[in-house]
């Protein structure tokens, strides 16, 4: 069995599973946010359910439109707050405690290697960076899971990615996953597991792995996953009283395809509108003027991402025509950036720093684009109208490329 299949079998109480098999498995965590949780709560109440299975295994994070941007956002959050109080939900994260969900939950020790996690958000696959099987589901699935502690799964087949050699300077997890998506396409791993192995992993910090696993969904994957190693163990140390479970893929595990990626040969990569697979390296880009830069999101709002941006911006000024918005993914990351002097670097460079929020990533708030405007963003999607007006354009890039572009006023890296 593959790594993903090993976890699913264990959580279903089975010795083995096969691709295509339908199983019912016990969950370690279920997640919803201020957009998706109200739908789950409505279905939960509509079904006449009066109790949750385990209040410690539910995480509700108010991160998309908070602090609330308008009346509707306030009502959405109010609905979730009332539900959390009604059932004494232990892991409820609101203003002051909240962060971007897929950075916050690992930071809080709520996800460990070997866990089975579902979330009413497509980027729930992020937690595969820790060796967990995690995937996005619908809000109705979350309602059922909150009541039963279980979910149905169709066991996925898998694609193996062997990452080799040391990445060149300024090549990050974002460049790696954009290269992969550009190679296999937005449906290249449709409903499959993307499993990452190889000697190159020792050069990838946990933040790089979060980024890669996060964007597995952009290739259509059910999940992305790394085997837990020393880097994983260092990250989870002291975060949870629970014991992790460690799984390994069988030597004879069957994969539908195997890709070898030479990390040393990669160049800074940008996804052009309007698909994450529409990639070009920065040496293939002409003179593309930009209006805005976003550095943040569940994909690239980690401390290493802010450090990469600060290294570029220190002692410089962003271009006068480029609005530069930097969003730490959690309050702890914000505080670490403050202690390290990164926030001062950003403000002196002419950028603004926001409280943790998904905000502009989904066209929510804190950076909406007007017609004809272009943004370089470290977020994960660049579909038509994703960050505002349908006639705007979003170019996906690493924090390094985003910061370089902010200074230059055009895409560069």
Domain stop point among 194, 228, 261: 261
Which range, of 38-42, 63-67, 123-127, 263-267, averages the lowest pLDDT? Answer: 63-67
Residues 91, 215, single domain; the answer is: yes
Q: Is residue 194 part of a domain?
A: yes
Q: What is the pLDDT of residue 33?
A: 96
Q: What phi and psi, each to the nearest 5 degrees, are found at residue 284?
A: -105, 5
- Per the CB < 8 A criterion, the answer to whether 196 and 224 are in contact is yes
Is residue 182, in this structure, part of any structural domain at all?
yes
Residues 257-269 pLDDT 10s: 999 999 999 999 9
Residue 134 structure tokens: 């995690």
Parent domain of 161: 3-261
Q: Phi first, then psi: what are they for 260, rounded to 5°?
A: -105, 125
What's the chain's Rg over C-alpha atoms? Answer: 20
Residue partners of 293: CB distance under 8 A and separation at least 6 = 318, 322, 323, 324, 325, 375, 376, 377, 402, 403, 405, 406
Q: What is the pLDDT of residue 98?
A: 87
SS3 for 294? strand
Instruction: Please check whether residues 229 and 309 belong to one and the same domain.
Output: no
**Residue that terminates a domain, selected from 261, 283, 308:** 261
In a domain, 413, yes or no: no
Take residue 294 and report the two structure tokens written for it: 């976003």
Residue with tokens 């916050």: 104
Residues 210 and 233 in one domain: yes
- The reply to whether 363 falls in a domain is yes
Per-residue pLDDT tens for 369-399? Answer: 999 999 999 999 999 999 999 999 999 999 9
Is 193 inside any structural domain?
A: yes
Give domain status of residue 72, yes or no: yes
Residues 194 and 214 in one domain: yes
Query: Of 241, 261, 281, which one is at a domain's C-terminal end?
Result: 261
Q: In the predicted model, what is the mean pLDDT of residues 355-366? A: 91
Residues 252 and 288 in one domain: no
Band of the pLDDT at 286, cuts 50, 70, 90?
Answer: confident
276 and 182: one domain? no
Closest CA to 103 of 214, 191, 223, 226: 214
The answer on 357 and 214 residing in a single domain is no
90 burial class (0-12, 13-18, 19+ CB within 10 angstroms)? middle
**CATH for 212:** 3.30.499.10
- Phi and psi at 317, nearest 5°, equal -125, 140
Structure confidence at residue 24 (pLDDT): 97
Do 206 and 316 have their domain in common? no
> Model confidence over 173-212: pLDDT tens digits?
999 999 999 999 999 999 999 999 999 999 999 999 999 9
Percentage above 70 pLDDT, the chain: 100
Confirm whether 96 is domain-assigned. yes
Q: Kindly list the distances between the CA atom of residue 259 and the CA atoms of 33, 163, 195, 213, 255, in Å, as whole numbers in the listed order.
A: 34, 8, 10, 16, 10
282, 218: one domain: no
Q: CA torsion, points 76, 216, 184, 230, in degrees to nearest 10?
A: 160
Note whether 102 and 127 are same-domain residues. Answer: yes
97 and 179 inside one domain: yes
User: How many Cβ atoms sit within 10 Å of the Cβ of residue 228?
Assistant: 23
Residues 199, 63 share a domain: yes
66: pLDDT confidence band, cut at 50, 70 and 90? confident
Mean pLDDT of 135-155: 97
The number of domains in the chain is: 2
Global pTM?
0.95
């Amino acid at each position: 069995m593959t790594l993903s299949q090993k976890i699913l079998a264990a959580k279903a109480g089975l010795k083995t599973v096969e691709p295509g098999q339908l199983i019912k498995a016990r969950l370690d965590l279920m997640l919803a946010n201020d957009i998706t949780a109200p739908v789950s709560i409505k279905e939960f109440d509509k079904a006449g359910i009066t109790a949750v299975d385990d209040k410690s295994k539910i995480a509700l994070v108010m991160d998309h439109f908070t602090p609330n941007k308008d009346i509707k956002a306030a009502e959405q959050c109010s609905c979730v707050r009332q539900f959390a109080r009604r059932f004494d939900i232990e892991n409820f994260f609101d203003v002051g405690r909240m962060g971007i969900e897929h950075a916050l939950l690992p930071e809080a020790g709520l996800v460990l290697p070997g866990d089975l996690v579902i979330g009413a958000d497509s980027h729930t696959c992020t937690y595969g960076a820790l060796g967990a099987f995690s995937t996005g589901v619908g809000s109705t699935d979350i309602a059922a899971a909150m009541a039963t502690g279980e979910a149905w799964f169709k066991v996925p087949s898998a694609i193996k990615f062997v990452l080799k050699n040391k990445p060149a300077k300024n090549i990050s997890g974002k460049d790696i996953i954009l290269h992969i998506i550009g190679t296999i396409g937005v449906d290249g791993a449709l409903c499959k597991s993307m499993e990452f192995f190889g000697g190159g992993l020792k050069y990838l910090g946990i933040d790089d792995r979060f980024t890669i696993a996060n964007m597995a969904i952009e290739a259509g994957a059910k999940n992305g996953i790394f085997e837990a190693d020393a880097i994983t163990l260092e990250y989870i140390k002291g975060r949870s009283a629970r014991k992790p479970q460690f799984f390994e893929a069988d030597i004879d595990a069957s994969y539908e395809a195997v890709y070898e990626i030479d990390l040393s040969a990669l160049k800074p990569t940008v996804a052009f509108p309007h698909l994450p697979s529409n990639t070009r390296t920065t040496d293939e880009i002409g003179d593309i003027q930009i209006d805005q830069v976003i550095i943040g999101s569940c994909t690239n709002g980690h401390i290493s991402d802010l450090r990469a941006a600060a290294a570029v911006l220190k002692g410089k000024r962003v271009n006068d025509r480029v609005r530069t918005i930097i969003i730490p993914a959690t309050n702890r990351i914000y505080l670490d950036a403050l202690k390290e002097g990164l926030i001062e670097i950003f403000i002196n460079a002419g950028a603004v720093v926001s409280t943790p929020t998904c905000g502009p990533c989904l066209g929510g708030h804190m950076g909406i684009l007007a017609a004809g405007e272009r943004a370089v963003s470290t977020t994960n999607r660049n579909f038509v109208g994703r960050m505002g007006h349908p006639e705007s354009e979003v170019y996906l890039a690493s924090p390094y490329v985003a910061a370089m572009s902010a200074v230059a006023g055009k895409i560069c890296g």
